[in-house]
């Protein structure tokens, strides 16, 4: 993580510590920013440059029997989307937010059952397909399904 990204991470972390924001706000922000990231990818036609790597991650995830490996591949897929914007500002701003968010999501995903894991993978496949077809509406629907599943798992983790 670069110095600027680290500073943003530290600011968000401090905001959490001082209760100036909370997990719900960050989760909502992350969900909406992922939609904006995907719109940027579609508008700038940059998906083709990242398509092969995205497909490799999705195939590896489908073939993995390890929940921890699937969680890592999930992380890599979402970071790939950030980088697929090919916009340094997006990358600098989104990576630290994703890093804060990852602290919560990793634990939730590690405890998810196989059905949820399959549904998350399908949401990733649907995002991939939508980006490949430059279909932002379907991409946003896939993002909503994905984050609904993640939010549900995080709520289970907190009970």
What digits encode the pLDDT tens for the residues 39-80? 999 999 999 999 999 999 999 999 988 888 888 898 899 999
CB-based contact 58:52 (threshold 8 Å):
no
Buried b (16+ CB within 10 A) or exposed e, 2-13: eeebeebbeebe
Instruction: Summarize the confidence of residues 98-103 as an average pLDDT.
Output: 85
**Residue 21 pLDDT:** 92
pLDDT of residue 5: 84
Q: Which two structure tokens, joined as six digits, stand for 113?
A: 């059952």
What number of other Cβ atoms are within 10 A of residue 35's Cβ?
15
| Average pLDDT over every residue of 75-93 | 93
Angle at 73 between CA 71 and CA 77, to 5 degrees: 120
């Amino acid at each position: 993580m670069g110095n600027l990204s680290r500073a943003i991470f530290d600011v968000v972390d401090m905001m959490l510590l001082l209760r100036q924001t909370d997990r719900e706000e960050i989760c909502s922000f992350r969900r909406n920013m992922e939609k904006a990231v995907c719109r940027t990818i579609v508008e700038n036609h940059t998906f083709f440059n990242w398509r092969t790597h995205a497909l490799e991650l999705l195939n590896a995830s489908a073939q993995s029997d390890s929940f921890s490996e699937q969680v890592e591949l999930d992380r890599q897929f979402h970071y790939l989307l950030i980088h697929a914007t090919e916009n340094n500002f997006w990358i600098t701003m989104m990576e630290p937010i994703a890093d804060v968010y990852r602290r919560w999501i990793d634990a939730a995903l590690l405890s998810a059952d196989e059905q949820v894991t399959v549904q998350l993978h399908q949401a990733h496949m649907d995002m991939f397909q939508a980006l490949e077809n430059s279909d932002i509406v379907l991409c946003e629907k896939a993002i909503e399904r994905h984050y609904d599943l993640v939010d549900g798992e995080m709520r289970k983790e907190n009970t």
